[in-house]
Structure 1
Amino acid sequence: MASIKELKEKVARSCQILAMEGQFDGILGHVSVRIDENKMLIRCRGPKEKGLLYTTPDDIKIVDFDGNGEFLEEHKPPNELPVHGEIYKVRKNVNCVVHSHPPEAVICSISNIPLKPIIGAFNIPAARMAREGIPLFEHSYLITKPEQAQEMIKVMGERDVVLLRGHGITVTGMSVEEATVQALTLNQLAKTTLEAVKSGFEPVEIPPEDFKDLPDLGTQFNAQLNWNYLEHKLFKLLA
């Protein structure tokens, strides 16, 4: 089992990777990881905030699911902490939550552009995600109250992802690596869909029978190998 130090480093790395890939604009967005049955590590803001791309383990603090915790006076938890805490309370299989604001996903949400399985082997996880259906939360407000987060969770159901109209996305995973890569997968689907719609033609869904040859490649391939690549890309960027 990973130590608190290792988990802080991993959450910080997730924030950096998602910022590098355009999911966070400056200081907005957050990642958390469950550490026990009522506590999590979550990205907080300090007085010397430099943005998500420059997140350090010192920005990651321990809090309970209602936001009480180890805050130093200079750090502040995200206003939308209920997005994380309420999910952990009801989804016991979830160990990581990402809330981000990728522009392409936001554009699709406000334009009523559905994210359908229009790509296949190009991105198998995206194809399978679209086939399962991507729910849309119709409200665009900040989710700062537990009851607002609970409404989002009702829309989300047992899915790992949900679009928030005019706001962003919420993504869950069994690990930091999985949730991070799934957030990127969702926006890749949104990006491809948006480009197809901009071409002037209606995107064509792939034939259902094709899915028998589009297997689930597993977390090791989908999450861990992609995470390793993204870490290396980040190290080169910040070197």
Structure 2
Amino acid sequence: MTSTDVLISQLIHIAGGAVRQGLVLGSGGNLSARLEDGTIAVTGKGTWLDTLQPEQFAILDLDGNQVGGAVPSSEWKLHTELYKARPDANAIVHIHPQFVLLMTALGHKIRFITQDHAFYVGSYGYTKYYTNGSDELALTAADQLRDGSHDVVVLGNHGIAVVGDSVESAYRKALNMEEAAKLTYHALLLGDQDTVFPEEELRKLHHS
């Protein structure tokens, strides 16, 4: 099995998990990984993430030129621009988590209350709504992640895009982002407006 085969297998596994977790429905969402030669494997157009097959991935260079595989997702520009903005990123998960989208649409800031939420995510960028597949969406999302202060960007009324140094790390951040949104939602129902994980404890975690 080649390194490309391994990465595509990981993407298929994570994609199925995202559907089972309720983080995306139908043919929504798309994932990708950076390959050894600098190209990327991205899920194909119209694919359902819980029934992906290896032949349903497109292979693109970072200028969007197709060098193999299936027709790419309509969101391919989002992936190529994020990889160009973040040379350290080896995987991207783009899904549609409901609590993240609800909270941000209603103007509530998502808070990181638990250790894992603060450590694995800690902050996020935001763009207003842009049409899926558009240059505006891809470029504004890339600008939010470019300096490395965030690994997650919320795409207003649409979804999130998450970068990681591996497929697993990108998905872990996506899961923690949605769980943080759920805890923020429940905290607000209980009347809490400001509880977050203690900053001094977070600094200790980062230096441990």
Q: Same fold (TM over 0.5)?
A: yes
Residue matched to 1:24: 24
Change beyond 3 A, Cα 1:216–1:23: farther
Would you say the 8 A contact 1:94–1:173 is kept in 2? Answer: yes
For the pair 1:81 / 2:92, whether they are aligned, the reply is no
Map of 2:57 onto structure 1? 60
For 1:45-124, list aligned pairs within 5 A. Answer: 45=45, 49=47, 51-70=48-67, 75-119=70-114, 124=115
Q: Partner of 1:180 in structure 2?
A: 171
For residue 71 of structure 1, report the CA deviation from its aligned partner: 5.4
Q: Report the residue type matching 1:116 in the other structure.
A: R
Shift of 1:111: 1.1
User: Per the alignment, in what secondary structure is the counterpart of residue 163 of structure 1?
Assistant: strand
- Residue equivalent to 2:5: 5
1:135 to 122, 125, 135: 125
Q: CA deviation at 1:133?
A: 2.5
Are residues 1:153 and 2:142 paired?
A: yes
Query: CA distance change for structure 1 residues 58 and 217 in 2, over 3 Å: closer, same or farther?
Result: farther
Task: Decide which structure has the larger Cα Rg and report it.
Answer: 1
Amino acid in structure 2 at the alignment position of 1:66? D
Q: Distance in 2 between matches of 1:101 and 1:41?
A: 20
Matched position secondary structure for 2:88: coil
Distance 2:161 2:68 in 1: 24
TM-score of the two chains, using structure 1 as the length reference: 0.76
Is the contact between residue 85 and residue 143 of structure 2 (CA under 8 Å) also seen in structure 1? no
More helix by share: 1
* Distance in structure 1 (CA, Å) of the matches to 2:133 and 2:169: 25
Give the match's secondary structure for 1:82. helix
> Are the counterparts in 2 of residues 193 and 203 from structure 1 also a CA contact under 8 Å?
no
- Hey, what's the Cα distance between the residues in 2 that align with 1:56 and 1:203? 44
Following superposition, the deviation at residue 70 of structure 1 comes to 4.7
Shift of 1:212: 5.0
Post-superposition shift, 1:114?
0.8
| Cα RMSD after superposing both structures | 2.5
Are the equivalent residues in 1 in contact too, given 2:45–2:73 (CA < 8 A)? yes
Could you tell me the TM-score, scaled by structure 2's length? Answer: 0.87
Identify unmatched segments of 5+ residues in structure 2.
Answer: none
User: Structure 1 residues 69 and 217 mapped into 2: Cα distance closer, same or farther (>3 Å)?
Assistant: farther
Which runs of 4 or more aligned residues in structure 1 lie more than 4 Å from their structure 2 counterparts after TM superposition? none
Is the contact made by 1:196 and 1:202 (CA closer than 8 Å) also made in structure 2? yes
Give the distance between the partners of 2:168 and 2:32, measured in 1 at CA: 12
Question: How many residues are paired up?
Answer: 206
Quote the Cα distance in structure 2 between the aligned partners of 1:69 and 1:110: 35
| Alignment partners' CA distance in 1, 2:53 and 2:207 | 32
Q: Is the 8 A contact 2:120 2:173 kept in 1?
A: no
CA displacement at 1:97 relative to structure 2? 0.8
